[in-house]
Each structure stands twice: as structure tokens, then as C-alpha cells.
Chains A and B, each alone.
Chain A
Amino acid sequence: MRNDASFALAEDIANGANDNLAIEIDGAAPFAEVERMAKGVDQIAIRFEKFGDGRGFSLASMLRERGFTGELKAVGDLLPDQVGLLRRAGFDQIASEVKPQSPRWKHGYFSHAYQPAAQGEEPAYRARTLAARQARVDELNQRYADASPDQIIAAAVREFRGRIATLSSFGTEAAVGLSILARVAPETPVLFLDTKQHFPQTLSYRDQLIEKLGLKNVVSLQPEADELVKEDDEARLFETDTSACCQLRKVRPMAKAMVAYDALITGRKRYHGGERTDLRPFEFDGERIKVNPLAALRPQEVTAIFRTLDLPQHPMAAMGYPSIGCWPCTAPADGAGTREGRWAGQDRTECGIFDPSLVERAARTRSYRLI
């Protein structure tokens, strides 16, 4: 059960509450106390009474994990041989009181690391995994360059057994991909981002499709209740900051869910334009693998599939909405089969759920939230 009395540090500094406040704490101090003292502080010096007393490394690591972005300084009895470890534990500065002039104070001996750390090298398993994913994607794209949507989905489900899901907005074109999935790999989870700001027509369309296609495994992803209260109590955040609103209602719930999956099936198509014009069937975004079985589909083919399979349309498609997201940021537009009308008048075409850096940052912040 998470208690979300969040760490107020960043806000205090932003409000100019404290100008360059620095404190020194003993390495033996209990973390709860350190946490309390660290509120609103710019710099924390952690004192090592003896270089063999490793508590300071944990204190630093925990402060960083829980969002402390100020300066961390290690002081006291330290050895040059500890530099690499101190750095990775999150210290920015080292001020040893033992032989500070020694020429042995050079930074870090090791060019790799096995563990995640506050700063410095990423853990070895990350580099290895990302390399493996890229290689896998290259190989899959070679094999399935000209494959049909059915073949691509079947291959993906085989390849990533148990660690693959699809994402659906239950929007204007959703039925196409979902109908193929229901036929080829019905056990695949269908993730739906229930932002709490959908058109009611989207929600009833969702229910209609679930029944018509016999979808058994639809998972509703929702924003955290306590975050909603804290960040968008009146459900009007979209009026001032649509990016923050997407973060709250889409990006973060997505990040949380994606922990269980290595691959995600999308409904993205090249003809959507923008960033999507060069979509390949398999894609490595630097973190995960995305499967785009409908990438090569053309608008006429989408229409044909609706007709042949007698798929219901989203009720708003006929009302002049080519693409449907949350109601505050979706407008009718010309250009059937495009993403016109999404964040109309803003310099955005994507909400960010497909941006790995946003998603990963959200995942890390979420997990390491200060309690």
C-alpha cells in the first residue's frame, strides 16, 4: 500500500524557498531521519567516519532513488579506491579528509558495471538485452518484410510468448487490428487506456467490439486514483497543459503495465503520416519491441476489411472525426483516415505513449516514488 506523501524537494526549490541550503549528516543516521532532513535542501554531505562503514553508500543510493536531485557530497575517511563506487552510489563530490592531495584520486577503474546505479554505466544486462532486442528485430524484419498482418501477428505471438500484448484505443480503425487478433491470437491481452476522459461513444463502442469479436482478455489501464486527486482534481488539466494530462492519464499507466511485456502490438499505419511514414513490421524503440502488423495497410484496405467482416464503426466516425482520442483534445476534421483533429491547434501529434524515453522515465519515477 503506497502512501503518497511525496517528497517536496523539487517544488520547494522551484518556489525559491531555500537558497543553496547545505547540510551535513552522519553516515550512521537512520534513513528516515535523513529523508526528513533532506526536504528542501540543495546539498547534502554524508560523513564517513571510517571508510569501511558502508552505510553512506546506501543513504546516497536511496536518496537518489527517491528523487533527490541536489548535490551529494561524501566527506570524511575515504579511499581513492572507492571513487567508482561513490560515483555510482550517487555522489557528485568527494572531499576526503585523508590524504586529499594523493595522486591516487583518479576517477573510476571500471568501464562497465553489473548493477543499475544512480549515475554512471548502465547495468551490463541492459546493454546485452538491448543489443539482443535490436538483433531480434532486424532478423524478424528480414523474415517478415512482406508478410500479411495475420502472419506478422502470428509470428510475434510465437516469438514473444507470454510477454506480448496489444494496445487499442477502440477508435475509428481499431476494429481492423482487433479482428485479426481475435482470429489469430485471441489470448493476447488487449490493453485499453481508460483515461477517464473518453467520449462515452468510445466506451460503448469498446463494449460492442468486445462482444462482437469475442475478446476475452481486455485489460483496462487507469490512472492512479491518488495521482488524479493530486494532479487533476477538477479534471481540467487539459486546459493548461495537455502534455502533463497525457502523462497522468496515458503515459504513466502505460509504463506501469509495460513492465510485464517485452513486445507491444500496435495499430499504427504508414499512411497516418508524421513519424509513422516509415514504419516496419517490427520495430525496436531502444527499450521494447513494437509490432506493427498493419503498417503497410492502405486506407482502401481498411475500408474493405470493415465491409467484408461487417465490423461496426465507431459512432463518431460518421460525425467527421477521422481519429478519436480523449474528448478535450479531439476535434472533427477533414482528411478521413488520418490523425487530423488530434490536439488541433497544438504542436503535437502524439500523446507520448510510444516514446520510450518518456515511458521509461515514468516507470522509474513511479517505482522509486518516495514514501
Chain B
Amino acid sequence: MYKYDSIDATLVAERSAQFREQVGARLNGELTEDQFKPLRLQNGVYLQLHAYMLRVAIPYGVLNGAQMRKLAHVARTYDKGYGHFTTRQNIQYNWPSLVDVPDILDDLASVEMHAIQTSGNCIRNTTTDPFAGATADEVADPRPWCELIRQWSTFHPEFSFLPRKFKIAVTGSAADRAAIGVHDIGIQLVRNDAGELGFKVFAGGGQGRTPMIAAMVADFVAKRDLLAYLTAILRIYNLAGRRDNLYKARIKILVNDLGADEFTRQVEEEFLRLKDGALSLPQEEIDRVEAFFTSAPADERPATAHPSSNFSRWRLWNVKPHKVPGRAIVIISLKPHGGTTGDASAAQMDVVADLAEQFSLDEVRVTKEQNLVLPHVAQADLAEVYTALEGAGLATANAGLASDIVCCPGLDYCNLANARSIPISQEISRAIERSGLEEAAGELTIKISGCINACGHHHVANIGLLGVDKKGVEFYQLTLGGVADGDAAIGKILGRGLGASEAVQAVITVIRTYLDARLGDEPFVQTLTRIGLEPFKEAIYA
């Protein structure tokens, strides 16, 4: 993975020093809260319901053992002993003190980590496929491009005060495990007829209040032109994005208002002016960054067995094929039945750090499903890895299954929430386990958001739940048929909101209805397309 040179390290250290000074200025009144707020947001510091929340960046979801161990250290030293992995491949701490954050940032800087631009009206963490560099279905590894985008977007003089937040996702594979269709900019690595690597660029996707799928703006941007192209898009957005209405300020509204054709025309015009100038990426820099991202050597040793009956289930669902012979991609589920999705204790993080170093070429990834991935485990080591995970409560065999729920922090933590999401996700998870239907149903995505901001990505779930507040009582609205990866699709609303226990029951009913109607082993979305919403509505509301 990428290693900082002195420029990267200096910038992170200087940022940390800057924030320390800014905290001091807030504490002594030099800065008002209104002035301080955007500054602290650009360092990932939120003020939530009952504490500050710190969102630490995990650039494109990639970590090494030392970094994971440092995250554990932060959880133990400054927080309540746990952290929460997010739907944008970052980690959040729910209880840091503002006065401790400068020290936390210094601690993070010592392992090349930071909390830069994880919030605020700026370009956020660029996310990608958690299987990057390990999967056979990628055209090329997206991670070097994520790193180049990360650097280009950090402390950008022009784009640090955008109309609203800006999220970029990159996929190296057409399978798109990065959900580029619902990002402000989505980038897909492709090859042209001459075999040259380039980018298909999409813009204007997003979830939230007005979910939209991104439109294609360029079918091939050459490698050296990537930054110039992104600059053109950001510049159009910075100048024309709405600043009068918070709910209409994302680029998706601009693309929708202008129409994709006009938007594209404006971008192309600006791009032509910028092309071949100072924004051209030198081949040396591309080479330099690409060299950090290697794959794994083959492993010849034979696979080993494991006595536990759960092992074969775990092997079936949580282990994915690797492009290199003798290796495998391991998904560590952070969704124990009845647990809090995406949470890991400091001790668990330490276990994962050890496993990464010992068994995964010192690499671990965070997924937008709020799980972790060990990308390069040798087949021969699977049994040993499983044993260690089981001992730490990290071996739930449900990756991609119904109880692999994605859930935002919700009203238990978040200022913006209308309803709690964690308790209902726990109930749903337990209900699914009790029902015994999980393995029969196979891959099925359930995602829950506590408010319309959709941080739980409920719009793109097969079964989505949106928490709403009706006169102080929490209700949940179901949507069906969303898809995050590949051909992204927004789910359709099923009917009126349901109370918590009704909603839990409804989810089980949806799964039963699907299983009853399913032909062969067709996936949920296919059944839904075939039979429509009616059977589900009837089963739930009749």
C-alpha cells in the first residue's frame, strides 16, 4: 500500500498542528462556533447527540496492521473501547473530547493516518472495491488512482468550500463493488481499443432526499487527463451548485436541472482548456504510485480442514476467490446476530491487526457494508485464521446474507436522525436467525437509515428501511428492489410506515414471500421484477 514521502508526512503533521491551534482559538473565544464548525468538520469532528464524534479517514478502505492497532489504541485511550466502521470505508469514534482530538490526530499521524476532509463541504474519502488488487474481475487495480485522487483533492485551494459535500468512488471492475452509480462522481477503469487504460466517468449520482443514478459524462478519459477532467467537473459544480437550499445543493441536483447533455457539454468545454496543462499527471508520478500497490504471490501449500461445523458455512459465504492460485479473500463479518453493525472493540481490532500482518501480507480493508476484509489469505491458512476470528467473535458466517445488515448509527448517536436504527437492526438480525431462512435466501441486502440523509444506504438495498418520526413515535418505511453494486437501482416504497415490531415482522414476511415465489435460485431483485410489488404489499398490509 501507499507509503508517505516527506511531503505527505509534513502535510499531515502541519494539519494536525493547524487543528490544535484552531481548537485553542475556539476554546478562548477567538473563533465563534459558527466559524469553528466548518473548520472542525474538515477534520472529521462532529458534535452529535451526546458527545463529539470523530471520523477518521481510511483512504479507499485500505489499512495495515500497525494502523489498525493504532485505531485500537485510540478507541482504548480516548474513547469507550470500540470504533464503528462506516458505509464510506472510514471509522468513527463516538466519544472523544474536543480537547483530546489534537492528540488523537498526532497519534494517527505517526502511522500515516488523519481525519482530513472526512466531513464538511469538501471532497471526502474516495472509496473503492474492497477486493481491489485481489480480484480476477478487475480491468486494473483502482487503488493507485484513489491515492492520486486523494492527494489532488486534499487542501484544494479552489474546492475547499463547495456548496455541499462531494463523494467520489472508483471501481476497477465492471462488477462495481464501489456503487459508483450513486456517487457524485463515479469512475470506472476501462481499456480502449488500443488496450490503453483510461476512465469512464459518471456524475450526479446520490442517495439522500432525492436519490439519483449518475449519468455518464465521458466514456474514455486518458490516464494523464484524469485530474484535469475532475477539476473541470468540480469547477462547474463549485460555481453553479446551489447554495440557497441545503437540500438542493449536491451536484446531482445540478446535473438533473441542466440535463446530462448540457452538463457534459460544460464539463468538456472547461476540460479542453485545462487539458495538457499543469494538471497533466506525469507518467513518473503514475509509475511511482502504482508501484506501491502490489498483489500477492501464489501459495502452493494445500488447504487445511477445521473441526467446527460453522467453518464450512463460513468458508462458503465469507471466503471469496482470489486471482492468485492458493489464496483467498476473507470477509470478516462485523454483524454478529443481534450485535451492532460495523462495531469492533479495541481487542477485536488488535486481533484483526495480527491476522493482517501474519496472514494477509499486512493488509486489511474496510467495506461499505461495514465489514472488514483480509484480502490475501492463503488457502492453507484459512483454518487458522478462522480459529482466531472465532475466538474474537468475528466469525459470523453471514457475509452478503440477510443478517449482514448495513445500518447507520441513527438516533442513538446522530444529531440528524429521526429514528433509531441500531435496535431495529438487532431485532431484525435475531429474527432472521430464528427464522432459519437465511441460508436458503442466500445473498440479500438489508440496509437501514435513521433519516432521509440515507447514510445507511437504504435506497440501494434489496430491502431498505427508512426511520421516520411521527409525532415522537418511530416508524419505518420499507423500500424494495434497490441495488448498490453493478447496475445501481433505487428501491421502491412499499407502503405506509410501520411501527418497530411490525417492521421487523415485515422484513421476515418479505423474505418468506420471496422464497415462496422464487424460481430456481434467482436473486431477490429478479423475483421482484418478475412478480412486482403487489404480492409483498399484500403479504404485509393485508
- Using a CB–CB cutoff of 8 Å, the interface residues on chain A facing chain B are 2, 30-31, 51-55, 57-59, 61-62, 65, 79, 81-82, 84-89, 102, 104, 109-117, 123-129, 132-133, 163, 256, 259, 262, 363-364, 367-369, 371
Contacts and interface: CB of A to CB of B under 8 A. Distances in A.
Given A109-B14, A112-B10, A371-B273, A89 B158 contact: yes
A85 B30 CA distance: 20
A91 to B, nearest CB: 10
Contacts of B162: 54
A115 B39 CA distance: 20
Interface stretch (B59-67, B72-80, B147-155): B147-155
Contacts of B18: 81, 109
Contacts of A82: 160-161
A136 to B, nearest CB: 8
A163 B224 CA distance: 12
B274 A57 contact: no
A163 B155 contact: no
Nearest to B38: A52
Interface in B279-318: 279-285, 288
Contacts of A114: 11, 151-152, 154-156
A112 B11 contact: yes
B156 A129 contact: no
A127 B154 CA distance: 17
B155 A364 contact: no
Interface residues of B, number: 46
B282 A126 contact: yes
A125 B239 contact: no
Contacts of A57: 157-161, 238
Contact of B283 (A81, A163, A368): A163
Nearest to B156: A115
A368 B160 contact: no
6 contacts: A55-B243, A58-B239, A89-B157, A115-B152, A256-B276, A363-B276
Contacts of A368: 273-274, 277
Interface string B15-33: 1011000100100001000
Contact of B280 (A54, A84, A102, A259): A259
Nearest to A109: B18
Contacts of A363: 276-277
Contacts of A52: 38, 121, 161
B440 interface: no
A308 B151 CA distance: 55
Nearest 7 Cβ contacts at the A-B interface: A54-B161, A367-B277, A116-B278, A88-B157, A125-B285, A129-B282, A129-B284
A123 B288 CA distance: 15
Contacts of B156: 114-115
Contacts of B238: 54-55, 57-58
Nearest to B236: A58
A54 B276 contact: no
A112 B278 CA distance: 16
Contact of A124 (B7, B159, B239): B7
A368 B279 CA distance: 11
Contacts of A129: 282, 284-285
